[in-house]
Structure 1
Amino acid sequence: MSRRTLVFFVCSPHSRTGVTTAARLLTDYYLSRGAPVEGFDTDSREPSYALRFPGLSQVVDINDVKGQISLFDRLLASDDTPKIVDVWSRSFDQLFATIAEIGFLEEARRMGVEPIILFQSDSSQTAASNARMLNTTWPDLLMTVIHNEGAAPLGPDALQILAQYPSRGKLVIPRLESAIARSLDDFDLSLSAFLQEPPASMSIVVRAALKAWLLPIFTQLQSFELRLDLQSSEFLR
């Protein structure tokens, strides 16, 4: 099996759980490696992800046919450019209903595209239930669960909660102190550029804390990418 173009759906049925943060981190991971990447923001009301990556991303209204066309036609392009979809919580149901209706997953695999779900966990039963529903509907669809310890802390029952998700892997985004986390709100802050040359105006304390937070996350993403490469290796047929 040859290498396939990756399409990531970063999602949760609930708001304010860290979905956009995860999509941002994944995008900046690819940019830090000098890799091409294309993003889509399904929050047509108050887009945040798209504003952070002008020129690399676009806002799509999944409830509109034109928005569906602009999204799914690009996602089916087998061009070695990873595609990242920041799934707004209010777009969650419509997105996956459309995926089922148009037979997107079957067409994607035929076109050499590998869809992947990055599912943001939280402490509710409904989030895990939605993840299980997706797994039941598409058992071959690769799903990785995200544990954002800051935006969606799971508390002392974290292991039991995460065990309810039918995922094949886990991405942990550690909690940041609030004073440090506020620096991430700056729309002009590119995390990939930050690793190469931090802003001169940034406190050395903030700089050190952000780097200590960011590098382990990127290491996890690199390991995930390597596992995908091994799975698609011709030697593993």
Structure 2
Amino acid sequence: MLATPIYIICSPSPQVGKTLIARLVSEFLLLKNGTALSFDVNLKEPSLLDYLPNITETADVIDTYGKMQLIDPLIVHDRVAKVIDLGFHAFDEFFTMCEEIGFMEETMRCYVVPIILFVAGADRSSWRSYEMLRRRIPPGALVVVHNEFVLRGGLPEAMDGERVLHIPALPVFLKAYIDRLSFSFTGYLHDEKDWSSELHQWIRRSYTMLRDLELSAIMRRLS
């Protein structure tokens, strides 16, 4: 691995499918690399820790100690991809901290590639927070996630650019199925022999998008 990717899945809005995206990314990394390390910065359950306890640690940004415990492993080029499931309650504090300590600049020196997956919401705070990140995050590192199960009417115009990850909406019964704590995306791919099933194709398409996204981010960083 030429650089270590860090996926920061975030949104200032609740109930937008952020933890679902964090689960997808974490399981994709486990399948691709055989290892991953995830951080759960959430208040409510179920959270990423409930779904993937073997690779997930809890973290917080309440005080200086908690911030350093979270940040220190992220700026190490150890070839273990990281995932942060950043709760909406910690959104402002986390990115304020990143700006204060020069986190993005530090990653450039350490061969670490941050990929900010901003899960869009329909409320005004989502648009304002996106504009804030556009001013703070280097071009190419900020990617909008359009979860079509939540935003069925499409993205706000300001967010609908080149760097968009579209997650198609699943039928309600399949959404309830994948929300079970015992469900594994990779496990389903291994166990389900019908490749034409809607869920099988949805997972494979999601994994392919993540593979292409990571390759693009790393090549941009190294160019």
TM-score (norm 2): 0.90
2:170 matched residue in structure 1: 176
Matched, 1:227 2:221: no
2:70 matched residue in structure 1: 71
Question: Matched residues in 1 for 2:95 and 2:16: separation?
Answer: 19
1:46 matched residue in structure 2: 45
Q: Amino acid of the residue matched to residue 166 of structure 2?
A: V
CA spacing shift, 1:229–1:106, aligned 2, 3 Å: closer
Q: How does 1:1-237 map to 2 (within 5 A)?
A: 3-46=2-45, 48-140=47-139, 142-150=141-149, 152-155=150-153, 158=154, 161=156, 163-165=157-159, 168-198=162-192, 208-232=197-221, 237=223
Question: Matched residues in 2 for 1:146 and 1:140: separation?
Answer: 16
Question: Matched residues in 2 for 1:37 and 1:210: separation?
Answer: 24
Q: Amino acid of the residue matched to residue 111 of structure 1?
A: C
Question: Matched residues in 1 for 2:190 and 2:109: separation?
Answer: 38
**CA RMSD, aligned part only?**
2.4
Question: Matched residues in 2 for 1:109 and 1:54: separation?
Answer: 30
CA spacing shift, 1:33–1:216, aligned 2, 3 Å: same
CA contact (8 A) 2:140 2:163 kept: no
Q: CA deviation at 1:137?
A: 2.3
Question: Matched residues in 1 for 2:107 and 2:14: separation?
Answer: 28
Give per-residue Cα distances to partners, 1:31-78, cap 9 Å, x unaligned. Answer: 222432110110145351112111211111211333212210111111
Q: Amino acid of the residue matched to residue 36 of structure 1?
A: T
CA contact (8 A) 1:12 1:127 kept: yes
Q: CA deviation at 1:106?
A: 1.6
Q: Amino acid of the residue matched to residue 164 of structure 1?
A: A
- Structure of greater Rg: 1
Question: Matched residues in 1 for 2:69 and 2:40: separation?
Answer: 12
Q: Give the count of matched residue pairs.
A: 223
